[in-house]
Chains A and B, each alone.
Chain A
Amino acid sequence: MSDAFAWLYSDVVKEHFTNPKNVFNPDEGFSHNAEGMTGNIKCGDQMLFMLRVEGDVIQDVRWKTYGCASAIASTSMLSEVVKGMAIKQAYNIKPNDIVAKLGGLPDNKIHCSVLGDKALRAAIDDYLSKNGRSGEFRNEGARIICTCLNISDRDIEDAVKGGARDWNGLQERTKIGTVCGGCKEAAEELLHEYVHIFGDA
């Protein structure tokens, strides 16, 4: 990472912030067959991904973001990365992959600004559902958090989207942590992150 005092973020972030790639421009006539939005205005970031998918490959992509410099840069970077990528592979992109490509981000920026992967997954899900393949990638890239009950990060995400806001709410929906309890810390961390992102949606 470059000198934080020279600029708050890395040079790569600065470049993608000042010259973002693949921003949606209504005058351009971009045609797409899938889109997904995620984010939370309370947290200050919201992202929209538009994809043109052909034969399960992302041919082209456009996006819009309401957010801070790192949110704009990370969405721009992600849009470059997924162009020409198979949707299944794109579905597996993790926030950390993008953070690494950006040359790092301050810790407090990672949760909110790297929503791009979630917006992207929402867009791919949209494509799948439009093609009668709803939920096909549901477990792609999922990480098991509760080994006793085989509950993944995706399950926690879904529970939050379904209304879980605290540990009790999460347990009611998933039964997570009710066997050995060893997953509680990791699960609560994710819960906190997802409530932050999806809490107002």
Chain B
Amino acid sequence: MERRFVYMDYNATTPLRPEVKAQMIEDLELYANASSLHEAGRRARSRIERSRSAVAELIGAKDPERVIFTSGGSESNNTVFATMFHLGRTGGRKGIVTTKIEHPCVLNAAKWLAEEGFPVTFLDVDEYGVVDMDQLKQAVGPETLLVSVMAANNEIGTVQDIKAIAAVAKAAGAYMHSDATQSVGKIPVSVDDWGVDYMTMSCHKLYGPKGIGGLYVREGCPLEPLIRGGHQEHGFRAGTYNNQGILGFGLAAELAKTELEGYVERVGGLRRRLRDGILAAVPKCRVNGHPERVLPNTLNVSFPGAEGEAILLSLDLEGIRVSTGSACASGSLDPSHVLMATGVGPELAHGSIRFSLGRDSTEEDVDYVVSRIGPIIARLRSMSTVSY
């Protein structure tokens, strides 16, 4: 196949949808401070509230007021953990239960609470990345303040049974938080069906702009602002409204909702095509993550005998953009904490690649990747000290 550029890193971020981009450019005219009382301000505010409704609808929240706009997933997650710090500090429950496979913004926030003297449990996952429910039930008790489990994993795509996990948290009287950054817009998400008290979202994963995200907070659940200041977002998140970001988020959410069914079907089909193609093209590779309960767009594969960064850069030279499961390329030399938690061992963890598809992916993209991966792995294996 002829050389082409293929973006298969949608879990890292997505391109801005042309419709969203066009609308955002038009809305640049909407410069007024949405807190201002004059007509221009009220107009901006009204658009922001429309966005809030669209986001609320996407996640099945009946009351849009329960959605707070933040700068993204990291801020939303940190706001929840900061809230727990304030709650736990003043007495009562202090236990935090989370997992070993969370995004670094949750892991590091949890480690911060551990340093502050909170008892923190990092739950194990099985070989597919599914949370160990027995261990969860043992870990959660009358001392538990928060259970925080991501809805779907960014590296391997495994989807957790948040409903069952939330039921355990609720039965113990603990708050339930889920980082749904990778789930919103990819699988059906319902805060009520899942029974979460807090839920994190990020707009740049669903074809909207970067630097904008949301936090769902169930009525009656406490929230401590991370950023103090004005009365924006009911005082829970100060700072002049990010008009363009919020409008982009609203539009992206609206489109994501109407297209979800088609997305799951089409992208899921591409994922299967990619998986089957790679398995046929490369002997002895291994698909990571759960075989069924997995995001429709995420395919994580280990190629024993070859190292992830070398594979990534070889693909890059062919115009294919992917991520390693290993964080080696991004600065840390330790193999992916997610894959290590699934027990694959350092060699398979180092030799893993995350292919994440998106709404612009095509069969031609998939076939091109399949045509290139075989020779790349064969070349790296021929140089390798590791036999497989």
Interface residues of A (CB under 8 A from B): 8, 17-18, 20, 23, 25, 37, 39, 41-48, 64-69, 71-72, 108, 111-112, 196
A68 and B309 in contact (CB under 8 A), knowing A42-B335, A111-B333?
yes
Q: Is the CB of A47 within 8 A of B385?
A: yes
Q: Is the CB of A69 within 8 A of B347?
A: no
Q: Is the CB of B310 within 8 A of A68?
A: yes
Q: Find chain B residues with CB under 8 A from A20 CB.
A: 383
Q: Find chain B residues with CB under 8 A from A45 CB.
A: 307
Shortest Cβ distance from residue A56 to the other chain B in the assembled complex, whole angstroms: 26
Q: Find chain B residues with CB under 8 A from A67 CB.
A: 307, 310
Q: Is the CB of A69 within 8 A of B313?
A: yes
Top 10 nearest A-B pairs by Cβ distance?
A: A68-B309, A44-B350, A66-B386, A66-B384, A64-B385, A46-B385, A42-B346, A69-B313, A66-B385, A48-B385
Nearest chain A residue, comparing its CB with the CB of B386: A66
Q: Is the CB of B350 within 8 A of A46?
A: no
Shortest Cβ distance from residue A200 to the other chain B in the assembled complex, whole angstroms: 8
Contact with A along B326-340 (1 / 0, CB 8 A): 101101111100000
B108 within 8 A of A: no
Residue from the list A23, A25, A46, A108 in contact with B333, Cβ < 8 A: A108
Contact with A along B92-127 (1 / 0, CB 8 A): 000000000000000000000000000000000000
Docked CA distance A37–B385 (Å): 9
Q: Is the CB of A112 within 8 A of B307?
A: no
Q: Is the CB of B305 within 8 A of A69?
A: no
A8 and B313 in contact (CB under 8 A), knowing A25-B382, A44-B326, A44-B350?
yes
Residue from the list A17, A39, A111 in contact with B385, Cβ < 8 A: A39
B317 within 8 A of A: yes
Shortest Cβ distance from residue B322 to the other chain A in the assembled complex, whole angstroms: 14
Q: Find chain A residues with CB under 8 A from B329 CB.
A: 8, 68
Given contacts A41-B350, A68-B307, A69-B309, 14 further A-B contacts (CB under 8 A): A17-B310, A37-B385, A42-B334, A44-B350, A47-B385, A64-B384, A65-B383, A66-B306, A66-B307, A66-B385, A68-B308, A68-B328, A69-B313, A72-B310
Q: Find chain B residues with CB under 8 A from A69 CB.
A: 309-310, 313
Q: Is the CB of A65 within 8 A of B384?
A: yes
Q: Find chain A residues with CB under 8 A from B331 CB.
A: 108
Docked CA distance A47–B307 (Å): 13
Shortest Cβ distance from residue A66 to the other chain B in the assembled complex, whole angstroms: 4
Interface residues of B (CB under 8 A from A): 305-310, 313, 317, 326, 328-329, 331-335, 346-347, 350, 382-386
Q: Find chain A residues with CB under 8 A from B317 CB.
A: 18
Q: Is the CB of B382 within 8 A of A17?
A: no
Q: Is the interface of A mostly helix, strand, loop or mixed?
A: mixed
Docked CA distance A25–B326 (Å): 28
Q: Find chain A residues with CB under 8 A from B384 CB.
A: 64-66
Nearest chain B residue, comparing its CB with the CB of A75: B383
Residue from the list A41, A68, A111 in contact with B346, Cβ < 8 A: A41
Docked CA distance A106–B347 (Å): 23
Nearest chain A residue, comparing its CB with the CB of B381: A66
Q: Is the CB of A41 within 8 A of B333?
A: no
Q: Find chain A residues with CB under 8 A from B382 CB.
A: 23, 25
Docked CA distance A37–B387 (Å): 14
Instruction: Please list 5 pairs of residues, one from A and one from B, whose beta carbons are closer than 8 Å in the complex, sorted by A's number.
Output: A8-B329, A41-B346, A41-B386, A44-B350, A108-B333
Nearest chain B residue, comparing its CB with the CB of A108: B331
Docked CA distance A23–B380 (Å): 11
Q: Find chain A residues with CB under 8 A from B350 CB.
A: 41, 44
Q: Is the CB of A46 within 8 A of B310?
A: no
Docked CA distance A72–B305 (Å): 13
Q: Find chain B residues with CB under 8 A from A44 CB.
A: 307-309, 326, 328, 333, 335, 346, 350
Residue from the list A23, A68, A111 in contact with B383, Cβ < 8 A: A23
Docked CA distance A67–B386 (Å): 10
Shortest Cβ distance from residue A125 to the other chain B in the assembled complex, whole angstroms: 18
Q: Find chain B residues with CB under 8 A from A47 CB.
A: 385
Q: Find chain B residues with CB under 8 A from A25 CB.
A: 382
Docked CA distance A129–B334 (Å): 34
Docked CA distance A44–B333 (Å): 8
Question: In the complex, which of the residues A20, A37, A39, A44 has the most CB atoms of chain B within 10 Å of its own CB atom?
Answer: A44
Docked CA distance A186–B334 (Å): 23
Q: Find chain B residues with CB under 8 A from A41 CB.
A: 346-347, 350, 386
